[in-house]
Amino acid sequence: MSDVANFNRQTIEEFRAHHGKVGGPFEGAPLLLLHTLGARTGRQRVNPMMYLADGDRYLVFASKAGADTHPDWYWNLRANPSARIEVGDIDLDVEATELDEPERTEKFRIQAERYPGFAEYQRRTDRTIPVMALTPIAQTP
By three-state DSSP, how is residue 27 classified?
A: coil
Residue 2: pLDDT band with limits 50, 70, 90: confident
Residue 11: the pLDDT is: 92
Strands 31-37 and 57-61: unpaired
Residue 7: the pLDDT is: 87
CB burial of 17-31 (b: ≥16 within 10 Å; e: otherwise) equals: eeebebeeebeeebb
Q: Distance (Å, rounded) from C-alpha 99 to C-alpha 32? A: 19
Look up the pTM and report it: 0.92
Q: Distance (Å, rounded) from C-alpha 31 to C-alpha 33? A: 7
CATH 3.40.50.10190 fits 3-136, yes or no: no
Domain boundaries, the chain: 3-136
Tell me phi and psi for residue 5, to 5 degrees. -60, -40
Query: By the 8 A CB rule, do 110 and 32 touch?
Result: no
Residue 141: pLDDT band with limits 50, 70, 90: low
pLDDT of residue 139 exceeding 90: no
Give me the amino acid identity at 34.
L
pLDDT of residue 1 exceeding 70: no
% of the chain exceeding 90 in pLDDT: 83
Sign of dihedral through CA atoms 83, 86, 92, 97? negative
pLDDT in tens, 73-114: 999 999 999 999 999 999 999 999 999 999 999 999 999 999
pLDDT in tens, 9-66: 999 999 999 999 999 888 899 999 999 999 899 899 999 999 999 999 999 999 998 9
DSSP of 92-138, one letter per residue?
Answer: EEEEEEEPPTTHHHHHHHHHHHHSTHHHHHHHH-SSPPPEEEEEEPP
